[in-house]
Amino acid sequence: MLFRSIVNKERETGIFGGTARKKDGFKLTIINKSDKAKTLTLIERIPTSTTEEIKSKLLSINSEKKVNYKMLKDGKIEMKLTLAPNENKAIEVLFELSYDKDLKVNY
């Protein structure tokens, strides 16, 4: 099972020159309800833009244990996980958006 919830870290972290920055993220909770260990590949994504005016970057992936991940195209993140029988794992994904302060950005 997979649950996803929003993590509001820092909305409007400040305006540097003409650039606004927003730090945001989400928390994934993965549950192995099996009586056997499971290995899985999870692909999630952070917001991306088709315009150069808006930039996004991954800040961190946090969990109790280290998560093996790699960035793919279009903001996709591939994570390799192994869950013990009946294990719950929480992963927090944080990212930052930077854009011209006069732009309205929704995601």
Regarding predicted confidence, which is higher, 9 or 23? 23
Q: What torsion do the CA atoms of 82, 85, 90, 95 make, to the nearest 10 degrees? A: 20
| Residue range 57-98, pLDDT digits in tens | 999 999 998 899 999 999 999 999 999 999 999 999 999 999
pTM: 0.83
Kindly indicate the confidence band of residue 106, based on its pLDDT and cuts at 50, 70 and 90. confident
Contact 67, 91 (CB under 8 A): yes
